[in-house]
Amino acid sequence: MLLLAAGSSLSAAPGLAQSGAPAGRLTCTIGAGLAQAVATQKPLDCRFRPRRGPLQTYSGVIRGFALDARTVGRSLLAWRVYGPYARAPLGVLNGPYARKQGEVALTGSVDNDVRLVPRSLPLQRGANVALGVTAFELNLVRSPRKR
């Protein structure tokens, strides 16, 4: 309940409006549980599905969280990604992200030109706890080359 109430009040925050279509979707899987992932800063498996370009895999670490992670049940992290590119180059999401005061979106990447805006999800998929993330870091996971 706490998460849903926070989500509804945060969604009306200023600065959430975006111009243009999103460049893609970022989803991170929370393994053992949110409280443990936040406390230990255990890397999360993240997938960026750009509108144009190949699927990109990242390692994500939650550096700051504004909700009580112990009260959150089944959950995941999901954002719409906005950036200044038509085709997402490999590794475009690398870098630290932070929430600016009064906003829901996280702003970051190497050039500080990418915005991650929490997505709404069907309840059966679990709660989108991206609303509680205040600081986050992403690093591209390079897949081994086939020989």
Q: pLDDT tens across 72-110, in order? A: 666 788 999 998 887 888 999 999 999 998 888 999 987
Type of residue at 100: K
**How far apart are alpha carbons 79 and 77 in whole angstroms?**
7
Residue 1 CB contacts under 8 Å (≥ 6 apart), including other chains: none
Rounded to two decimals, what is the model's pTM? 0.76
Q: Where are the alpha helices (DSSP H) in the chain?
A: 2-10, 34-40
The pLDDT of residue 113 is above 60: yes
Place of tokens 């030109």: 113
Exposure of 62 in the CB half-sphere (CA atoms within 13 A): 27
Cβ distance 77 to 130 under 8 Å? yes
The pLDDT of residue 15 is above 50: no
In DSSP terms, 61 is beta-bridged to: 137
